[in-house]
Amino acid sequence: MDTLTPLTENPDFYILWAYGIYIPITVLLTFYVARKLFKNGLVYMRDIFHGREELAVSTNKLFETGFYLLNIGFALWILEMNYLDSSRDMVEALSQKVGGFSIYLGVVLFLNLFLFFRGKKAARISREIRERQQQLKSAPNA
């Protein structure tokens, strides 16, 4: 490359800038959503595990780790951007990639909420069954 040639004529210039913008945005989005989800999801875990704090916290952390791996892995998997010849191309490619990843992240968030609610429902049913069994055991024989 000639030293007088502008940097923007380098075929990789816009692609490298796009990667440099995309990766931090998707990682920060993933961390933000995970922090909110698993901070508030701990309440559900405590209920699911009937107040056994250590088990609830441990399980919540494992789900959080899986959330990070799944979402950061997906963000990197869809990273590829081709043929960015201008800043306009770069902005359009970034908006598609970040927008698509945000939609995906929202779907995964709602899937996690669904699992929390299902776990909470199962815990409630289990608790009701145990209470009924206790009532039957303590009831005098007629």
Q: For the segment 20-66, what is each residue's pLDDT rounded down to a tens digit?
A: 999 999 999 999 999 999 999 888 888 888 888 999 999 999 999 99
- Cβ pair 98, 26 in contact under 8 A: yes
pLDDT tens-digit map of 58-79? 999 999 999 999 999 999 999 9
Band of residue 141 on the pLDDT scale cut at 50, 70, 90: low
Model pTM score: 0.78
Q: What is the DSSP letter of 131?
A: H
Mapped onto helix, strand or coil, the DSSP state of residue 79 is coil
Which of 34, 101, 116 has the alpha carbon at shortest distance from 68?
34
Which residue matches tokens 């995906």? 104
Question: What span, in angstroms and rounded, lies between the C-alpha atoms of 75 and 31?
Answer: 12
- Whether 75 and 34 have beta carbons less than 8 Å apart is answered as no
Percent of the chain with pLDDT over 90: 56
